Amino acid sequence: MFNKGFLVYKVTGKSFETAFDTLSGPNRFEHGVIQVENESANGSSLIKITLMSDLPVTIEKFYIEANYRFDTDDKIFCNGYQSWTDSREFAIDEKMKPMWKLMGLVDLDRIGDYLIYPYSGKKGRLHAFGCSYIRKNDQRILFIGSISEDSGYTFISHDVSQNRIQIEKDCKGYVCSGEYRAFDIAVLEGCEDAVYDEFLRLGKTARPKAKPAAGWTSWYNYFMDINQDIIMSNLESFEKHRIPIDVFQIDGGWYSFLGDWLIEKKCSFPGGMKYLADEIKKRRITPGLWLGPFVCEKDSRLFNDHPEFLLKNENGEPIPTCWQPRWFKGSAECDKMYALQNSFITGKGLRQ
């Protein structure tokens, strides 16, 4: 299905472009080799593509594409970038709306994937992250999924008007001097259960064993305006009306500041989170607690006491990652969230 690919790159500042065959390899070009492994069986395929170069090659664009004739009743599932982007089936004449210009002026462009993917705003121009499928009218699906995202995000783009599907690796600016495994792509066709089982098998994992669970969260009714009385009132209502749930989650608003996850807002929660967790457990419900371990705000102790934890730009300034006014109250009402360095998130630094 995907029978052609393209690499746009630079060597010592000069731009080059080469096309390659995705059905076989190796594909030799002026500055290296694009090795392709394509395993096909029963209409499904596994595509592995590796760039090999002995001298520094700076990638500008790396993608493969296929011609595909969309039917009018096709549904296209697009996996969103994160919780603020859509993950749903689209009709082929739908469009993904680009960001309003005003959003960029107040840093709201960081909320979705607007800084990562160029929206066209045109009908039938749809994109997904990591996986996507096309559902046919007989309920069979054509599934496209990245088995590994270790080498960067995988963009899967559908262009209905051009009858084209493109898979691109988010690797612009990456300097390859040696080997770079860009793609591990599965293209599978069949009924959903069989397709998903095969995709999980290829990724050497298994279906989740956890049972479906029902739960409640404070966020969408109260946002940051929560306190101990509000939480207890809702918990008691579930008990009074005998509404069965598995998880009861306290969302944003319980902490002093973003980043200070061990400092509770005592004025609003005099008993602390332990008191509420115990009350939830008494009712044989699992307590849940929202936090965001990868960010902090300016008023937090983390930001002020541990500047070495913060991700900084080339000028040594902390990097804001998002602006979400509903996550702040008081002096930080319209402030920004700042990112932590990966080493402190995964290592001992975050625990100090």
Note whether 55 and 33 are within 8 A (CB). no
Give 351's pLDDT tier (boundaries 50, 70, 90).
Answer: very low
User: C-alpha distances in angstroms, 341 versus 186, 303, 316, 335, 337?
Assistant: 32, 12, 13, 20, 13
Question: What are the b/e assignments for 135-171, b being 16+ CB within 10 Å?
Answer: beeeebbbbbbbbeeebbbbbbbbbbeeeebbbbbbb
Specify the pLDDT at position 41.
74
Compute the C-alpha angle 249/300/267, nearest 5°: 55
Distance CA 224, CA 268 (A): 11
- Helix/strand number for the chain, H first, E second: 7, 19
Delineate the domains of the chain, giving CATH numbers in brackets.
Answer: 4-202 (no CATH), 215-351 (3.20.20.70)
Alpha helices, DSSP H, located in the chain: 101-105, 192-202, 219-222, 228-240, 272-282, 301-305, 342-346
Alpha helices, DSSP H, located in 79-226: 101-105, 192-202, 219-222
Strand ranges for 116-192 from DSSP E: 125-129, 131-135, 141-146, 154-159, 164-169, 175-190
Distance CA 281, CA 291 (A): 20
The model's pLDDT over 40-73, given as tens digits with 9 standing for 90+, comes to 877 788 999 999 998 999 999 999 999 999 999 9
Q: How far is CA 315 from the centre of its chain?
A: 28
Specify the pLDDT at position 211.
87
The model's pLDDT over 242-261, given as tens digits with 9 standing for 90+, comes to 999 999 999 999 999 999 99
Specify the pLDDT at position 210.
84
The model's pLDDT over 265-287, given as tens digits with 9 standing for 90+, comes to 999 999 999 999 999 999 999 99
Comparing C-alpha atoms, which of 66, 62, 129, 65 is closest to residue 96? 129
Alpha helices, DSSP H, located in 92-204: 101-105, 192-202
Q: Give φ, ψ of 326 to 5 degrees.
A: -70, -10
Specify the pLDDT at position 322.
72
The larger pLDDT score, comparing residue 108 to residue 80, is at 80
pTM value? 0.79
The model's pLDDT over 307-326, given as tens digits with 9 standing for 90+, comes to 999 999 999 999 887 766 66
